[in-house]
Amino acid sequence: MRKLSFWTLDEGQQIRAINEAADELDRLQSHNSFMQQQVDALRRQVDSQRSEIGQLKAAMQAVCDLLVDLDLVEEEALGYRIDAAIAEAAAEAASAASPAAASPSPFGPPAPAPSLVANEAICSRCRREVPARDITFTDRGPVCESCLPAQAFESGE
């Protein structure tokens, strides 16, 4: 886009220059809107992934608790095995990553891992913390024993 010089252009050239500037502004606004939609879509995807990671952590915690509660494996041995698997996965990811991918994440440092054995869990229905042994995993998430009959009634079972 050329700069306007009101002293050297005649009226027709000024109108044409103003129209060109307006067209360019429309293109930029359209591009900005498109980019904002893409950013919003990426934010929704990150939120969805964050939620899914939370669910996976809860499921993994429940499996670990079950293994320890049933005395199938010792808690300390399970912790060592999980730490080793995480370290191995991190080493594989680091060796496969390119130098550009090694830059720090724009979303900040990763959250600390939860403790291996949780004594309490949160019911997805009443949002109370209850002992982990009183939780039942349903298609709607972890539900405590007091909410389980109500949920079964609501779903018609």
Query: Which percentage of the chain shows pLDDT scores above 90?
Result: 15
* Confidence (pLDDT) at 153: 66
Output DSSP code: residue 100. G
Q: Is the pTM of this model over 0.85?
A: no
Burial class (CB in 10 A: 0-12, 13-18, 19+), 63: exposed
Give the confidence band of 108 by pLDDT, cuts at 50, 70, 90.
low
Residues contacting residue 128 through CB under 8 Å, at least 6 positions apart: 122, 144
Q: For the domain bounded by 119-157, which CATH number is listed? A: 3.30.60
Domain ranges within the chain, ordered by starting residue? 119-157
Q: Give the torsion through C-alpha atoms of 120, 79, 113, 98, to 10 deg.
A: -160
Question: Tens digits of per-residue pLDDT, 69-97?
Answer: 888 888 888 888 888 888 888 888 888 77
Kindly tell me if the per-residue pLDDT of 101 is higher than 80. no
Report the run of H or E that residue 144 belongs to, with start and end. Answer: strand 141-144
Give the confidence band of 53 by pLDDT, cuts at 50, 70, 90.
very high
- Say if residues 119 and 111 touch (Cβ distance below 8 Å): no
Which of 39 and 153 is assigned the larger pLDDT? 39
